[in-house]
Structure 1
Amino acid sequence: MAWKTLDDMDLDGKIVLTRVDINVPMDSGRVTDATRIARIKPTIDDIIAAGGTPVMLAHFGRPKGEVVPEMSLAHILPAVTETLGRDVTFIEQPSREALDALPAGTVVLVENTRFTTMETDNDPKMAQFLASLGDVFCNDAFSAAHRAHASTEGVAHLLPSCAGRLMAQELGALEKALTTPERPVVAVVGGAKVSTKLDLLGNLVRKVDFLVIGGGMANTFLAAKGIDVGKSLCEHDLAETAREILKKADEAGCEIILPVDIVVAREFKANAANETVGVDACPSDAMIFDAGPQSVARINEIITGAKTLVMNGPLGVFELEPFGTGTFAMLDTIAAQTTAGALVSVAGGGDTVAAINASGHADAFTYISTAGGAFLEWMEGKTLPGVAALG
């Protein structure tokens, strides 16, 4: 991947269209988590320091091309102003004349880009309109980079374009994790269903040395190998697909790590009565909720010997006590190795981030992506339109 950063651009006196992701959660009219806003602050600060005027383009919610008052970016303007530590001018219908009339150093927030279908359709007319507003395009929204929209991909072809600080940081971390990694490389993939991560698994077996499979996904692989998983979440219809993945991994020299012992219970609830048994001894009326201590010991041994780790999914039902034991023990090891400088660790995905936050190790990872779908598509080896347009 080759892209320019803010440092490669002449921003002095220029209007810098800046695509950001500030699609933050709200409750009762208040932003409940301003993390996404905080993460764009370095980009906004650096544009202003270089003499530019940042004009933020962003979406909010899923208005589906309609003007939905509840999804106006005006609702989050106070949080944007507070988090950036600057006055922010909100403009519903921007024009070049209005932007040129603003004092130097003004920070602008334009109304929700998805209030028209021209955005999600990547309509050339909208891309041209957006390009007419600015002199430089800066994409700082990796989380929207898997969408070929007018404000993420279309406009990038019409103006000198670069990656913002957050985008460059994310791309750099991802490149270090799978494109040019130090080996051995281990990937941890969990989650409920194999069906949602077929492309991911198919790509990873060609890229990594060890592939740890956890969560409900592991059950499907165990069943494919003829192991009885009782009443566990399992996609029995994907047994042949699982066997194909195991074969591809073997051919590629990738060792797939599945549980050798398991924690089982008969009720899906916190502190349900449970027991640890060998993987081939799951009671027919029980469900697998976590990897057992022998499995976790093997995983931690692999992580301790690895140089690079990428994680997308937990080992078990970490939300319910005590079935987060395996996931948290693994996260302890990842954090210790990363802190010691022995491991580059990159993680992403909603459940993954939640597990890391619950473990208290959020500051210990090399990089934690909040990009969701874009992170997953990158791990699947897909080209992201918003990134490709910057090349």
Structure 2
Amino acid sequence: MTWKTLDDLDLNGKTVLTRVDINVPVENGKITDASRVERIVPTVKDILARGGKPVLLAHFGRPKGQVNPEMSLEPLVATLAEHFGVPVNFAADCIGAKAKTAVAALPAGEVLLLENTRFHAGETDNDPQFAAALAALGDVYVNDAFSAAHRAHGSTEGIARLLPAAAGRLMQAELQALEAALSAPVRPVAALVGGAKVSSKLELLGNLVRKVDFLIIGGGMANTFLAAQGIDVGKSLAEHDMTETARNILHAAGEAGCEIILPSDVVIAREFAANAANETVPADACPADAMILDAGPDTVARIDTVLKSAKTLIWNGPLGAFEIEPFDRATNAAAAAAAALTRAGDLVSVAGGGDTVAALNKAGAAADFTYISTAGGAFLEWMEGKTLPGVAALEQ
């Protein structure tokens, strides 16, 4: 760990510019899921407890450098105040006179939310002048938005080079969990990667075969790997133009000593619909008019054995069409097994990205995982072995 945390900064009497992710879903002016707000509460409360004045920097939507009232952060003020338990003030800009006035007037023990950083083109351009205008508002900088750390933006990367900088509690938790899972894991390490397309996770798979002992592949991706081995997958979702790539990944795994687990049996149906007539067949026996929609019980039993032998698990994506019953069974069973092992102290389990959170919540297993990241792109890029600009800036 080469980055600082809140514990390393003197915050007393300081204005603390705090980058957060409150890009929450809103319908008819109401927040439908406040989980991103809930996850920044520890950082904000810690800053207040240490005598600092939290000034929140955040984006909302993609206004493309233009002021768009529909993407204003002002409607979030009441929800933030409710979760923080203190008054939350609002400034109609994130730089310039309005922001400076609001910062100067901020009483101790209260929070200030600045307007959408993406209302300025300098944010996504990582313009040095924009970053300097942000930095001029505060004494120290805290980044608590891991989910935006893969973007080299003014409020995530540029500003971190201009002020004493540290990771907030959420960012700290994310980085510690990911380092424990990939950088210095307890072995054996298993990775479960599911989802529709091999093409969207090429770099991820290429990195993982060099880092893990077992790679469990599910979802539509597994169909592509089956097709790469000459197996007829019928009408299943598969990328037949990626079969050579799949073979290359299988070869790389063999060279690296990584065992790849593919379905040995599959659940098939003639239509993609809830409770469609279905049957379980060997993976190489899918009829031409059917589609593979889930892994079968023998495959689940094999996954269970792998999980019991592992000490660390990284999970990204479902094993089947988890959105509709009964094609959620393999995902639910594997999630329950991982959750039980984690509860018993036998497994460190880290999950994140894409449909993963929804799948684990649906399985009722999310609460028992060691750590679940709500970051999509940043989580995947970390797993791909990429340097995240927002994290790298904290290491300077």
- Check conservation: 1:190, 1:313, Cα contact below 8 A: yes
Cα offsets for 1:317-361 (capped at 9, x unmatched): 011110001110101100000000000000002311001111111
Cα offsets for 1:358-380 (capped at 9, x unmatched): 11112100000000100010000
SS at match of 1:288: strand
From 270, 274, 292, the equivalent of 1:270 is 274
Give the AA of the match of 1:275. Answer: E
Give the AA of the match of 1:81. Answer: A
> Residue in 1 aligned with 2:57?
57
> Residue in 2 aligned with 1:188?
192
Cα offsets for 1:162-215 (capped at 9, x unmatched): 000000001000000010000000000000000000000000000000000000
> Residue in 1 aligned with 2:124?
120
CA–CA separation in structure 2 for the residues paired with 1:243 and 1:155:
44
Cα offsets for 1:31-79 (capped at 9, x unmatched): 0111100110010001011110000000011111111101000121111
Give the AA of the match of 1:195. Answer: S
SS at match of 2:367: coil
TM-score normalised by structure 2 residue count:
0.98
SS at match of 2:224: helix
> Residue in 1 aligned with 2:253?
249
Say whether 1:201 aligns with 2:210.
Answer: no
CA–CA separation in structure 2 for the residues paired with 1:103 and 1:343:
46
> Residue in 1 aligned with 2:392?
388
From 374, 379, 384, the equivalent of 2:383 is 379
Cα offsets for 1:264-294 (capped at 9, x unmatched): 0000100000010001110000000000000
Q: Which runs of 5+ in 1 are unaligned?
A: none
CA–CA separation in structure 2 for the residues paired with 1:95 and 1:330:
49
- Check conservation: 1:18, 1:54, Cα contact below 8 A: yes
From 284, 289, 297, the equivalent of 2:288 is 284
> Residue in 1 aligned with 2:91?
91
CA–CA separation in structure 2 for the residues paired with 1:69 and 1:99:
22
Give the AA of the match of 1:239. Answer: T
Cα offsets for 1:78-108 (capped at 9, x unmatched): 1111122221000113444541332212200
Cα pair distance change 1:351/1:115, threshold 3 Å: same
Say whether 1:211 aligns with 2:215.
Answer: yes
Give the AA of the match of 2:291. Answer: M
SS at match of 1:186: strand
Task: Report the CA distance between 1:250 and its aligned residue.
Answer: 0.3
CA–CA separation in structure 2 for the residues paired with 1:88 and 1:118:
26
> Residue in 2 aligned with 1:358?
362
SS at match of 1:285: coil
> Residue in 2 aligned with 1:106?
110
SS at match of 1:389: helix
- Check conservation: 1:345, 1:366, Cα contact below 8 A: yes
> Could you say what the CA RMSD is over the residues aligned between the two structures, in angstroms?
0.8
Give the AA of the match of 1:288. Answer: I
- Check conservation: 1:63, 1:114, Cα contact below 8 A: yes
Moved over 4 A (4+): none
CA–CA separation in structure 2 for the residues paired with 1:268 and 1:104:
57
SS at match of 2:245: helix
> Residue in 1 aligned with 2:320?
316
Taking the TM superposition and a 5 Å limit, the aligned residue runs for 1:336-351 are 336-351=340-355
Give the AA of the match of 1:364. Answer: D
Cα offsets for 1:9-33 (capped at 9, x unmatched): 0101100000000011111110011
CA–CA separation in structure 1 for the residues paired with 2:99 and 2:26:
29
SS at match of 1:193: coil
CA–CA separation in structure 2 for the residues paired with 1:351 and 1:88:
33
> Residue in 2 aligned with 1:40?
40
TM-score normalised by structure 1 residue count:
0.99
- Identity of counterpart residues, as a percentage? 69
CA–CA separation in structure 1 for the residues paired with 2:84 and 2:270:
49
CA–CA separation in structure 1 for the residues paired with 2:78 and 2:111:
13
CA–CA separation in structure 2 for the residues paired with 1:50 and 1:169:
19
- Check conservation: 1:264, 1:276, Cα contact below 8 A: yes
SS at match of 2:294: strand
SS at match of 1:264: strand
Stretch moving more, 239-248 or 82-91 = 82-91
- Check conservation: 1:143, 1:371, Cα contact below 8 A: yes
Give the AA of the match of 2:312. Answer: T
CA–CA separation in structure 2 for the residues paired with 1:98 and 1:313:
43
> Residue in 2 aligned with 1:70?
70
> Residue in 1 aligned with 2:24?
24
CA–CA separation in structure 1 for the residues paired with 2:66 and 2:223:
43
From 173, 177, 181, the equivalent of 2:177 is 173
Give the AA of the match of 1:259. Answer: P
- Check conservation: 1:145, 1:386, Cα contact below 8 A: yes
CA–CA separation in structure 1 for the residues paired with 2:11 and 2:309:
45
Give the AA of the match of 1:68. Answer: N
- Check conservation: 2:317, 2:353, Cα contact below 8 A: yes
Q: Which runs of 5+ in 2 are unaligned?
A: none
Stretch moving more, 288-297 or 79-88 = 79-88
CA–CA separation in structure 2 for the residues paired with 1:187 and 1:384:
21
Task: Report the CA distance between 1:219 and its aligned residue.
Answer: 0.4
- Check conservation: 1:86, 1:107, Cα contact below 8 A: yes
